[in-house]
A and B are shown apart, each in its own frame.
Chain A
């Protein structure tokens, strides 16, 4: 045992991964055709190129959603513990909400909520 076992593990890991890929290279006879690239029983057939541009406004909504999401997730454990801790917990959650609210105001000021 000792560090030699780690080295063995490392090489075994590399050999396992590389061996699988190499075996696939050797034994699999690959054919390419149109049907192979299509989604099989999962989703609708694709149309158009994936390289076209789309609006980034979508991500802004996701980010703002995250503000409220994190806020709520954090408030559940707080709600459980607030009776036991008392006043300091109330002050701290107000600070926390205030910080998040500032972030929201900033996003609003920047026009992140306007659909473009």
Chain B
């Protein structure tokens, strides 16, 4: 009986185990060295990542509340990889922090929440997973204890999350009223596209849109990203967003398949709005974290464009893009995090002349930004290419044209940062920075991921072979 539960749940159990190990250390040990603990945690997270690659049978547990399969395990592996990179990048900031252990406890609690959310087979389980991840995330965004901005970010985040949860719960309750069920397998059989059901769906969609910062619901993003510690911002923009996208696309493609004609048009509209607004606001930012926040809004728009394809290629391209997005965004955030931790400077003007003293950091930043912009040799190009191909599968060529135009606009602000780093100069450039071993490993992973993932065709083929669509 126990192995039947343990094997499908192994990733969640492993994360919980690490969490409790840290709690034991915190409660039991009177003295510990933060540096040692940080190295230990990173080794454990690596073990967690490796554990995910062992084969896992398809399983449904707890009366259909929890289900898992190869696609879901793959998605969890992607999240594990991202968490490991975030953790490696956070080393420089955490080794000075008094509460590094708590940071990891909260981080792993959110990860468990995301795992349960992705695996959920029932709207209640989905909601529980979402809340399990949202509440620790709020605490995390207020983790720079000395900074007022960080508390402000936490407050804004919890208020907007509470609001989105309320919308989501209202949608869930209306959907329950309309279909008489909360299970993902029973709902689609009773969906007929009546106005009442559509209303419930729109509320659910708004709840999702908050989490993935799609445009009418994006206003919290920039402030929260700017105020939070950089490692947390990176986590928010990549892991949190990726996890919600995974469950969002699953819900659209399986649970709300009968409403496909309706959500397709909604998503096209939201996607255009998101790309345009994100881009236009990003153009005028000077703080690099804010710029990356708006760039992440724009990327959400592109991912929505892939979802509208509603084919297997759509699903595959979204998962593939998120994998690449993890590498490219974490590379960029890693550089920002390192420079912010050592010098406290975050503006684009501060980066002028960075290349003279820190060529390695400059190149990592440049490659990541090229990948975010979608310049051909990097993986970002292939990610965007597949997304737009999937979106074009339904013949929405005008829409795809707008998306392509937005890629050109985005190029401007990414190149502005690169120009500041390589070409401009300033009276007090950032001096030579020391890069510790762990962030160095993370940079290596990111750059390798960006340069290699696009060229290796089997990655996309493997994801495609597991994807769902219609």
A residues sitting closer than 8 Å to B (CB atoms) are 1-3, 5-6, 88, 102, 105-106, 109
Contacts and interface: CB of A to CB of B under 8 A. Distances in A.
A109 B195 contact: no
Contact of B199 (A1, A6, A102, A106): A6
Given A5-B195, A102-B23, 11 more contacts: A1-B195, A2-B194, A3-B195, A3-B198, A6-B195, A6-B199, A88-B1, A105-B27, A106-B27, A109-B26, A109-B27
17 contacts: A1-B195, A2-B194, A2-B195, A3-B195, A3-B198, A5-B195, A6-B195, A6-B198, A6-B199, A88-B1, A102-B20, A102-B23, A102-B24, A102-B27, A106-B23, A106-B27, A109-B26
B26 to A, nearest CB: 7
**Which of B1, B26, B27 is packed against the most chain A CB atoms within 10 Å?**
B27
A1 B199 CA distance: 14
Q: Closest 5 A-B residue pairs measured CB to CB?
A: A3-B195, A105-B27, A6-B195, A109-B27, A2-B195
Contacts of B1: 88
Nearest to B196: A6
A9 B107 CA distance: 43
Contacts of B27: 102, 105-106, 109
Contacts of A106: 23, 26-27
Contacts of B26: 106, 109
Contacts of A109: 26-27
Interface in B14-33: 20, 23-24, 26-27
Contacts of A105: 27
Contacts of B20: 102
Nearest to A88: B1
B148 to A, nearest CB: 16
A102 B20 CA distance: 9
Contacts of A102: 20, 23-24, 27
Interface of B: 1, 20, 23-24, 26-27, 194-195, 198-199
A53 B195 CA distance: 51
A102 B194 CA distance: 49
**Which of B1, B24, B26 is packed against the most chain A CB atoms within 10 Å?**
B26
A8 B27 CA distance: 59
Contacts of B24: 102
Contacts of B195: 1-3, 5-6
B386 to A, nearest CB: 34
B28 to A, nearest CB: 9
A6 B24 CA distance: 54
A79 B199 CA distance: 41
Contacts of A5: 195
Nearest to B105: A106
A54 to B, nearest CB: 18
A105 to B, nearest CB: 5
A106 B23 CA distance: 8
Nearest to A107: B27
A76 B23 CA distance: 28
Contacts of B23: 102, 106
A3 B266 CA distance: 15
**Which of B26, B194, B195 is packed against the most chain A CB atoms within 10 Å?**
B195
Nearest to A2: B195
Nearest to B202: A6
B62 to A, nearest CB: 12
Contacts of A6: 195, 198-199
A104 to B, nearest CB: 10
A59 to B, nearest CB: 14
B275 to A, nearest CB: 27
Contacts of A2: 194-195
Nearest to A1: B195
A3 B198 CA distance: 9
B238 to A, nearest CB: 29
A116 B195 CA distance: 57
A88 B1 CA distance: 10
A109 B26 CA distance: 9
A113 to B, nearest CB: 14
A3 B27 CA distance: 57
A5 B198 CA distance: 13
A105 B198 CA distance: 48
B266 to A, nearest CB: 13
A3 B26 CA distance: 56
A57 to B, nearest CB: 18
A31 to B, nearest CB: 35
B166 to A, nearest CB: 17
A47 to B, nearest CB: 29
Nearest to A106: B27
Nearest to A91: B2
Contacts of A3: 195, 198
B99 to A, nearest CB: 10
A47 B198 CA distance: 52
A5 B194 CA distance: 11
